[in-house]
Amino acid sequence: MTRHKTGGRCVRLFRSRAAGRAGRSGETQPADAQLERVVDFIFEAGWLKKTARTGWAFLGTGHEDVAQHSFRVALIAYILAKRAGADPQKAALLGLFHDLHEARTSDLNYMNQRYTSKDERRAQADAVAGTGLDEILAAYDEFEARETLEAQLARDADQLDLLFNLKEELDKGNAFARDWIEAAQKRLKTEAGREVCASMLETDHNRWWFGRVDRRWWVERAREYSQDCSQKCSQARPAGSAVRGRCHMGVRRPGATPRRLVAGHTAKKN
């Protein structure tokens, strides 16, 4: 097949040659209907990145789309299931697809839900119809039934994603988030979910990147600190090695050479 600069012309040339071969052989080339539906489904799933979680408007701060929410729900569900001795893959699957229908129905916040409703299952069924991905609809049914441990953990993960976001807003000064946290906490049904929630509420949301770094770095970030780091780093690399990279705290030293790997010391390009 000759490739042209214009993608559309390339596709037309491919189709015309395929049609020519089919005509010469007297055969008809049937369209792969399931593949077409799979492609449509992937485009539809991408719409979740454009579908806002509308409740944040009432809080006054924070924002999130349904794709972001679904990703972390799946991640949290996996973790909860591991901690609870359940099936983590199954729990993650339930969490990943629990809001897929919102590409069609949008997200209705709690105020919206007082006055309107949506046929979530129909939307979920229509989304996967013809794709051969019937397990996605089955996952939705299991999530909604709340009978299996994995479903209960996935539902707690749904609330925990909200709670983690609310804790961030509370840390940043939105006192109203505390009222939302109190309500969302009461929706948790599993011990694993409540345990993670209790620990999270005692944790500053910046600890993972700010709280575990030597505080001198944020003040100095200069030669004196780097020299002190160099002395500590020298204990973790072979004598005589002239490696320049990140310090023992993972901070790039002045003059560091990126992308060099040695025993006990890694340097990566920022």
74-94 pLDDT per residue, tens: 999 999 999 999 999 999 999
Domain with CATH 1.10.3210.10 in the chain: 47-208
Q: What is the pLDDT of residue 9?
A: 52
Write down the mean pLDDT value for the chain: 82
Q: Which fold has domain 47-208?
A: Hypothetical protein af1432 (1.10.3210)
Residue 225 confidence (pLDDT): 58
Burial (CB count <10 Å: 0-12, 13-18, 19+), residue 127: buried
> pLDDT digit string (tens) for 120-147?
999 999 999 999 999 999 999 999 999 9
Residue 172 CA to residue 179 CA, distance in Å, equals 15
Checking if the pLDDT of 253 tops 50, the result is no
| Residue 115 φ/ψ, nearest 5 degrees | -125, -10
Alpha carbon distance 248, 122 (integer Å): 54
- 217 CB contacts (<8 Å, ≥6 apart)? 225, 249, 251
Which residues lie across from 65 on neighbouring strands? Answer: 52
Please answer whether residues 162 and 56 qualify as being in contact, where contact means their C-beta atoms are separated by less than 8 angstroms. no
d(CA 5, CA 231): 56
Per the confidence metrics, is the pTM higher than 0.75? no
Residue type, 108: L
Return the percentage of the chain with pLDDT > 70, whole number. Answer: 70
Q: Which helix (H) or strand (E) holds 198?
A: helix 191-201
183 strand-pairing partners:
none
